[in-house]
Chains A and B, each alone.
Chain A
């Protein structure tokens, strides 16, 4: 019974993720993406990481998924072509390989001896470090992100003008 919850969440997230890529209509893809983000947040709740889970919900479901859906509705959706079955099979095969190797790696490393005293970690220390020690770096990164957003907008606009 304990195994059932993570497996159910995993199946839900995987199905939503595949649908997000494979859905014929873009709006269904966007909905599936939002569901996938919600599934990830459920995973974080299950792993007892409430901050991460809640911010996953606020940022990804509340902002990113809504923005994507907004874009789809503003631009107008085009029905995508039917995907090739061979490519899909290749993708599924690749996915299984990667996940399998991860599982193998986890099995391998968990058998190794681990230091028992993990460094203690709390959010207050993290916040203090981000604001004081890495404050300048944070501002530089924020500027970089803003600049890249502006760059993306500029590129997108130029393409529109050329048409």
Chain B
């Protein structure tokens, strides 16, 4: 009973705080809003170049919330077909394509159960933090020269620095649930994410070296003649594997191994709190897929019969699809195999590619420019 009143007062406080923040934000962006309203009357096509459109619609919030919903349906359908099942079928008529939205509404109306003796404040705050922390790095990923929310000079560094917050949030969620499965899952997630950050940094280095820039758009423009995956194939593979491990997807899903740990650090979460975690993980997947496409697959570049942002979109979707398909094709590995694989194989391989680039550097500069 006490926890119920606490939940209610907490939600009320969150509601009041977010309303206040919303009003303050609207006050801060009053001029962009007026600009969009003015453009709506005079030149509706020019709205796409305004900052407000970018933040709210295309590389921003709407896109970021729609793609996870679609990705979830695609994943379920794909895994089902591989396992000779049908998958979601009824909701929405055609192949159950509205199933994720039905799930979203189900989660919204379910009760968020707070376990006894848990740290309630941290328990309720960490899902919100998880979604925020997963969504913030997405602002740095470019979808074309104009469709990028924040074109920061040190974007590559900042992207991975912001992702460093995620294990902290996972650990908080795990600790505050007051459950042994959650804590074990959280500690495993921490091991995994901390040890796979090193191969990720090392495998990003070849692209940065070849482009001579830490800016995502600079890296894309350096790939005008040939994609960097041709020079750094080993790094691309290392980045892909480390990316799977960072996102805790199969075959690296030990932190939420269903058969061992119930569901890892999200064991005690229910309702929309759990939904926010899932949402956050899919948003992180989208961000990582965008970075992979930018660093190795030429980003938004492509033949000129399609606009830049459509090329970026296609590449990101292909990477997302490959990332999702691993869940159907691979079994889960053990935690010791994971740690050994990270330290003994991925890091030396990433360093090998850097050394190869050093050796062939004189020839490469002739090809690139």
Contact = CB atoms under 8 A, between A and B. Distances in A.
A58 B160 contact: yes
A61 B154 contact: no
B71 interface: no
A63 B187 contact: no
Nearest to A62: B164
Contacts of B153: 50
Interface in A79-121: none
Contacts of A62: 161, 164-165, 167, 197
B175 interface: yes
Interface in B146-165: 152-154, 157-158, 160-162, 164-165
A73 interface: yes
Nearest to A27: B175
Contact of A65 (B161, B168, B187): B168
A50 B160 CA distance: 14
Given A27-B175, A57-B162, A73-B175, A34 B157 contact: no
B324 interface: no
Interface string B157-197: 11011101101100110010000000100110010001001
Interface string A54-86: 110110011101100110011000000000000
B168 A61 contact: yes
B161 A54 contact: yes
Nearest to B171: A69
A20 interface: no
B202 to A, nearest CB: 14
A70 B171 contact: yes
A51 B154 contact: yes
A61 B164 contact: yes
Contacts of A70: 171, 187, 190
Nearest to A77: B175
Contacts of B161: 54-55, 57-58, 61-62
B157 A63 contact: no
Interface string B189-222: 0100010010000000000000000000000000
A51 B158 CA distance: 9
B162 A73 contact: no
Nearest to A41: B161
Contacts of B122: 27, 31
A54 B154 contact: yes
Main secondary structure on chain A at its contact with chain B?
Answer: helix
Interface residues of B, number: 23
A86 to B, nearest CB: 30
Contacts of A74: 187
B171 A58 contact: no
A69 B190 CA distance: 11
Contacts of A65: 168
A74 B119 CA distance: 17
A41 to B, nearest CB: 8
B194 A63 contact: yes
Contacts of B119: 27
Contacts of A57: 158, 161-162, 164
B154 A73 contact: no
Contacts of A73: 171, 175, 183, 186-187
B154 A66 contact: no
Given A34-B168, A54-B158, A58-B160, A66 B194 contact: yes
Contact of A54 (B157, B167, B171, B183): B157
A65 B161 CA distance: 13
Interface string B208-242: 00000000000000000000000000000000000
Contacts of A63: 164, 194
A76 B164 CA distance: 24
A92 to B, nearest CB: 26
Interface string A29-60: 00100100000000000000011001101100
A61 B171 contact: no
A70 B191 CA distance: 10
B168 A66 contact: yes
B167 A66 contact: yes
Nearest to B154: A50
A12 to B, nearest CB: 15
Contacts of B175: 27, 69, 73
Nearest to A34: B168
20 contacts: A27-B122, A34-B168, A50-B154, A50-B158, A51-B154, A54-B157, A54-B161, A57-B158, A57-B161, A57-B162, A58-B157, A58-B160, A62-B197, A66-B164, A66-B171, A66-B194, A70-B187, A73-B171, A73-B187, A74-B187
Given A31-B172, A73-B183, 10 more contacts: A34-B168, A50-B154, A54-B158, A55-B161, A57-B164, A61-B165, A62-B161, A66-B167, A66-B194, A73-B171
Interface of A: 27, 31, 34, 50-51, 54-55, 57-58, 61-63, 65-66, 69-70, 73-74
